[in-house]
Amino acid sequence: MSGNGIFVTFEGIDGSGKSTQAHSLADRIARNGQDVVLTREPGGSPGAEAIRRLLVEGDPDRWSPETEILLFTAARRDHLERTIEPALAARKVVISDRFADSTRVYQGVARADLRPVVDLLHEAMIGREPDLTFVVDMDPEAALSRGLARNSGEDRFEEFGLEFQQKLRQGFLDLAKQFPERCHVINGSHSVEDVAADVFAVFEARRR
């Protein structure tokens, strides 16, 4: 774990239930009396939230993959400076709904073959990895239906369709194999309660 706090991230395809699980873990940690910060990407700080609207709303072809990488990196840098690093320095648990792994998979694999560019920018401008990452995995077709049903107005990436979601799923599974020391794949097709129990068990085991 980090020298100060604990940095946990949740990753997965759109509609996988990762946001629900991030909230659930944060609630359980807080009930146990530990300080926790629940945040998200893109977003998590005022500047990053402004960039979020540019990224998740509008036409799917609004930005090129290259431009998306720059926007995500700018939002992540502000998020890191203003939210993540201060909370970790205060010995809090930081739980983020998405972080750099999403850019590695979305823009580095599924949108375009730009992983080297993503890694270069991450090393230069971010330079931090989570202590623990949960990859919530589930069937892309079911997840896509769930995501579109939310009708949140932030469905730009869902509108790329099922094939895109299938590429994302494989990208996240491949990423978990690349970083086995911090990534844990969680079956998101189970009940919300069972998934939450699986997540908390891994968190507790890793914290010991």
- Please give the distance of CA 17 from its chain centroid, rounded to a whole number: 11
Pure H helices in the chain? 18-31, 46-56, 65-79, 85-89, 100-105, 115-125, 140-149, 162-178, 192-207
CA distance 191 to 5: 30
What is the model's pTM? Answer: 0.91
Torsion of CA 169, 71, 58, 24, to 10 degrees: 50
**Residue 4 has what DSSP assignment?**
S
Domains of the chain with bracketed CATH: 6-207 (3.40.50.300)
Residue 61 phi, psi dihedral angles, 5° rounding:
-95, 20
Given this model, what pLDDT does residue 2 score? 46
For 77-92, what is each residue's pLDDT tens digit?
Answer: 999 999 999 999 999 9
Confidence at residue 145, expressed as pLDDT on a 0 to 100 scale: 75
Q: Mind listing the pLDDT tens digit for each residue in 177-200?
A: 999 999 999 999 999 999 999 999
The answer, yes or no, to whether residue 3 has pLDDT greater than 60, is no
